[in-house]
């Protein structure tokens, strides 16, 4: 079980690091490695199950997807005072794709968190209690 958890932790960290690298593009590999170590530390600290590893990974990936159009707009704004028509098309496609993918990944993360926390609530002690009666108890009334 530990090896599967470790494998998923490494894969989740790799997915988030690749997303960070795609987000920033020209950033130094040392910074990407630092980000990967930070995310790996977060996953090691917060995730207790494989479901939680992927819930946290997809949440960070969704936040990276949301940040992508913002960073692109900042980079293009720094390059020139008024963006050209091609740059405006790039910004539009980044906003559409970035927002679509961020909503997807954050929603996927929400479902994984709900699944992980839902299974923690359904403990074995709850399974031992008798199910509630379907029919209400009949009262014996005499007139």
Question: CA dist 108 to 14, 60, 82, 116, Å?
Answer: 18, 11, 37, 12
Does 40 fall in a domain?
Answer: yes
Does 141 fall in a domain?
Answer: no
pLDDT of residue 3 exceeding 60: yes
Pairwise CA distance, residues 75 & 39, whole Å: 25
pLDDT band at residue 74, thresholds of 50, 70 and 90?
confident
Pairwise CA distance, residues 100 & 94, whole Å: 10
User: What local confidence, expressed as pLDDT, does residue 134 receive?
Assistant: 58
Does 126 fall in a domain?
Answer: no
pLDDT band at residue 101, thresholds of 50, 70 and 90?
very high
Looking at residues 118-143, what average pLDDT do you find? 60
Pairwise CA distance, residues 143 & 132, whole Å: 30
Q: Where are the beta strands (DSSP E) in the chain?
A: none
Does 86 fall in a domain?
Answer: yes
Q: What secondary structure does DSSP assign to 79-94, as a single string?
A: H-SS--HHHHHHHHHH
Residue 99 lies in domain: 2-120
**Across the chain, what does the average pLDDT equal?**
86
Pairwise CA distance, residues 111 & 116, whole Å: 9
User: What local confidence, expressed as pLDDT, does residue 33 receive?
Assistant: 94
Nearest one of 9, 68, 54 to 36, comparing CA atoms? 9
Does 136 fall in a domain?
Answer: no
Prediction pTM value: 0.77
Q: Which residue has the higher pLDDT, 83 or 98?
A: 98
**How many domains, the chain?**
1
User: What local confidence, expressed as pLDDT, does residue 132 receive?
Assistant: 59
Does 128 fall in a domain?
Answer: no
Pairwise CA distance, residues 106 & 110, whole Å: 6
């Amino acid at each position: 079980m530990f090896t599967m958890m470790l494998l998923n932790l490494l894969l989740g960290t790799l997915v988030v690091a690749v997303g960070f690298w795609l987000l920033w593009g020209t950033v130094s590999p040392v910074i990407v490695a630092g980000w990967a170590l930070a995310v790996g530390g977060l996953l090691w600290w917060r995730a207790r199950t494989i479901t939680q590893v992927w819930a946290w990974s997809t949440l960070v990936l969704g936040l990276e997807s949301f940040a992508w159009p913002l960073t692109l707009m900042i980079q293009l704004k720094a390059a020139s005072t008024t963006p050209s028509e091609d740059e405006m098309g790039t910004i539009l496609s980044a906003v559409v794709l970035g927002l679509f993918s961020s909503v997807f990944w954050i929603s996927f993360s929400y479902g994984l968190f709900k699944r992980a926390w839902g299974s923690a609530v359904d403990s074995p002690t709850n399974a031992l209690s008798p199910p509630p009666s379907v029919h209400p108890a009949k009262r014996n009334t005499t007139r």
